[in-house]
Chains A and B, each alone.
Chain A
């Protein structure tokens, strides 16, 4: 999270009207080798799409942190005279079936939706890192045992794996978060293991060991940070997808449940009123999409920069 939020200091660079498509092209990360001079110029510039993504994330995080300051009304205030009212001056994004302000519910739902995404990623990252490190540093038996287990986990589609966890533990926000976190652990474990195998033999690790550092210190100070760094960049993208997964569970009625505002559960209710109101089903989904789009644009940018830094 810290990596994604710190970047918004850059929107000034967004003023430079570069090719707006540049940031949106997904395969730029495939990396066309660039001249060193070009690279330094490019690094100081942030594509407008990335600046925009950072700005959008900033707004989302602000809404999660201070919903009361941003929401015009009480997200739970029912108004029977204003059910399913179209967008107007009083209700910018209209109202829902109970006359509650949709905009306020989206703003107040941000925290719950983000909680699912961040929480799940945190669980997946921590568990995946621990398992990946263990496999990468352990002997062949430990490695094979852990990785074959992860292979088994990867054979299940993640949503289905999450559904199994919920079938065992029950629904609700906390369990949904846990379910997505567990379902995402195998892929993080594999990534961290691959990184660990590379870092383990690096010169600086050997050097640290030669200076007489204990094995634990070498792992904690040198192996762990370097193995996890690229994974953290991927996790930026993962925040968006985990939030969608959480919203999907809420949409299925297994995550956050009404009347607590949450984007997925709002859409779940809105599904029943599609004939009567386009706004109710439109805006909560737009919020999710903006979040996912921002995290993937930003994540790819960070990834590109990380790769350029290595080269």
Chain B
């Protein structure tokens, strides 16, 4: 959260040096990126090796389904445990004065008169078919509400992710292993950027680039100009953390014998960095995917509020304020699902990124 702001020791790994050391950061779930640190399989023949990979991925997929089931159970509990009568929330909050018949009708319609176990079963079944429930406020399917708002958020999150990753890699490649006069200030700036609360960064960017210089609009998403400041607000703190991780990876690789070999062949420093070192930043950065995804989701709530942009973050915030639980839980469940699926994909791609993980140990 940035504040992630994320926040909090999960967010603490944005400053947590273990991440820098290439270790698995504190907030990353068990087993998800662990493949980076251990060889995938020990099997000697090609076929059994492939079988091992499939089996490993199968186990991971099963674990992912387990996490999703747990997440669904938690959201169901949240739905049931919320103080107050759900039927009242559906007919319009505490101010409404519905007749007992209306309440009974709503309860029957939403299945609230059934035993909790039955409601739970029905809830899981609905989720399995992609139905996230119906908004208390809009009386529309949550999936429809999400569909209407998902576009701007995806654009914002994608552009921020691209800026953060490319910027981090570029800065890391350019500054790793340089003399202290270069490295010191850069890592100092990174530390400051990583510490910035995104809501403040956004205000400062607005003050400078929108109201003082007039380069970018303060509000509204008209084309790319409206996207620049929100993207920077989201990308700078994330990118600073990624740059720290990437640079420590680059500096580790610069000590490797193959770098010496490449230099001995007469390659220039820039060529060594781009052709030989660059790809080695991929694995540690991939390990940070979960951190980035969480940061983007949390950051979207703040950034969209700050810049008055439409999107999932605003939808979530308004739903929280209105206690529209199906929308809140639908969005949160969606973020968990995205997180789990992305981690699964990342896990599957480790051997593609790093051929050494394919090899027998």
Interface residues of A (CB under 8 A from B): 19-22, 24-31, 120-121, 124, 147-149, 151-161, 163-164, 166-168, 180, 183-184, 186-188, 190-191, 234-235, 237-238, 240-242, 244-245, 247-248, 251-254, 264, 267-268, 270-271, 274-275, 278, 281-282, 284-286, 288-289, 292-293, 296-297, 299-300, 303-304
Residues of the A chain whose Cβ atoms lie less than 8 Å from the Cβ of B1 = 157-159, 244-245, 248
Residues of the A chain whose Cβ atoms lie less than 8 Å from the Cβ of B6 = 157-159, 241, 245
Query: Is the CB of B311 closer than 8 A to any CB of chain A?
Result: no
* Cβ contact within 8 Å between B206 and A25: no
* Cβ contact within 8 Å between B7 and A245: yes
* Cβ contact within 8 Å between B71 and A155: yes
* Cβ contact within 8 Å between A278 and B15: no
Query: Is the CB of B78 closer than 8 A to any CB of chain A?
Result: yes
Instruction: Decide: A21 near B188, CB < 8 A? Known: A26-B244, A163-B316, A270-B203.
Output: yes
A41: min CB distance to chain B, Å:
19
Residues of the A chain whose Cβ atoms lie less than 8 Å from the Cβ of B12 = 187, 234, 237-238, 241
Give Cα distance in the complex from A234 to B19, angstroms: 13
Give Cα distance in the complex from A164 to B301, angstroms: 13
* Cβ contact within 8 Å between A167 and B203: no
* Cβ contact within 8 Å between B339 and A245: no
Give Cα distance in the complex from A293 to B192, angstroms: 7
Q: Determine chain A's interface SS by DSSP, over half rule.
A: helix
* Cβ contact within 8 Å between B320 and A289: no
Query: Is the CB of B60 closer than 8 A to any CB of chain A?
Result: no
B316: min CB distance to chain A, Å:
7
Task: Among A151, A160, A253, point to the contact of B30 (Cβ < 8 A).
Answer: A151
Give Cα distance in the complex from A270 to B197, angstroms: 15
Task: Among B11, B20, B192, point to the contact of A29 (Cβ < 8 A).
Answer: B20
* Cβ contact within 8 Å between B199 and A300: no
Give Cα distance in the complex from A30 to B17, angstroms: 7
The winner among B4, B185, B329 for most chain A CB atoms within 10 A is B4
Which stretch, B104-112, B330-338, B349-357, touches the partner chain A?
A: B330-338
The winner among B8, B18, B328 for most chain A CB atoms within 10 A is B8
Query: Is the CB of B133 closer than 8 A to any CB of chain A?
Result: no
* Cβ contact within 8 Å between B15 and A26: yes
Which stretch, B21-29, B44-52, B123-131, B270-278, touches the partner chain A?
A: B21-29
Give Cα distance in the complex from A29 to B244, angstroms: 12
**Closest residue to B181 on the A side, CB-wise?**
A21
B35: min CB distance to chain A, Å:
16
A89: min CB distance to chain B, Å:
23
Query: Is the CB of B142 closer than 8 A to any CB of chain A?
Result: no
Instruction: Decide: A124 near B9, CB < 8 A? Known: A247-B197, A251-B302.
Output: yes
Task: Among B8, B204, B332, point to the contact of A180 (Cβ < 8 A).
Answer: B8
A to B CB contacts below 8 Å, 12 in the list? A25-B183, A30-B22, A124-B8, A151-B29, A158-B11, A167-B78, A241-B6, A242-B8, A251-B302, A252-B305, A253-B321, A274-B206
The winner among B3, B15, B17, B71 for most chain A CB atoms within 10 A is B3
Residues of the A chain whose Cβ atoms lie less than 8 Å from the Cβ of B302 = 159, 248, 251-252
Query: Is the CB of B248 closer than 8 A to any CB of chain A?
Result: yes
Query: Is the CB of B317 closer than 8 A to any CB of chain A?
Result: yes
The winner among B83, B183, B187 for most chain A CB atoms within 10 A is B187
Query: Is the CB of B294 closer than 8 A to any CB of chain A?
Result: yes
Q: Determine chain B's interface SS by DSSP, over half rule.
A: helix
Instruction: Decide: A234 near B4, CB < 8 A? Known: A30-B17, A167-B319, A281-B204.
Output: no
Residues of the A chain whose Cβ atoms lie less than 8 Å from the Cβ of B75 = 164
* Cβ contact within 8 Å between A152 and B67: yes
Give Cα distance in the complex from A120 to B12, angstroms: 13
**Closest residue to B293 on the A side, CB-wise?**
A157
* Cβ contact within 8 Å between B7 and A242: yes
* Cβ contact within 8 Å between B7 and A252: no
Give Cα distance in the complex from A254 to B319, angstroms: 12
The winner among A157, A164, A244, A271 for most chain B CB atoms within 10 A is A157
**Closest residue to A161 on the B side, CB-wise?**
B332
The winner among A25, A161, A166, A289 for most chain B CB atoms within 10 A is A25
Task: Among B74, B247, B328, point to the contact of A163 (Cβ < 8 A).
Answer: B328
Give Cα distance in the complex from A153 to B14, angstroms: 18
A243: min CB distance to chain B, Å:
9
Instruction: Decide: A160 near B332, CB < 8 A? Known: A187-B27, A238-B8.
Output: yes
Residues of the B chain whose Cβ atoms lie less than 8 Å from the Cβ of A168 = 78, 81-83, 325
Give Cα distance in the complex from A159 to B66, angstroms: 22
Residues of the A chain whose Cβ atoms lie less than 8 Å from the Cβ of B168 = none
**Closest residue to A251 on the B side, CB-wise?**
B199
The winner among B5, B247, B301, B339 for most chain A CB atoms within 10 A is B5
Task: Among B294, B295, B328, point to the contact of A167 (Cβ < 8 A).
Answer: B328
Task: Among B191, B198, B336, point to the contact of A293 (Cβ < 8 A).
Answer: B191
Instruction: Decide: A267 near B9, CB < 8 A? Known: A26-B15, A26-B191, A155-B71.
Output: no
Task: Among B26, B71, B191, B340, point to the contact of A24 (Cβ < 8 A).
Answer: B191
Task: Among B74, B183, B297, point to the contact of A157 (Cβ < 8 A).
Answer: B297
Give Cα distance in the complex from A21 to B210, angstroms: 33
A238: min CB distance to chain B, Å:
5
* Cβ contact within 8 Å between A245 and B27: no
Residues of the A chain whose Cβ atoms lie less than 8 Å from the Cβ of B317 = 163, 252
* Cβ contact within 8 Å between B301 and A252: yes
A122: min CB distance to chain B, Å:
12
* Cβ contact within 8 Å between A160 and B4: no
Residues of the B chain whose Cβ atoms lie less than 8 Å from the Cβ of A244 = 1-5, 7, 11, 197
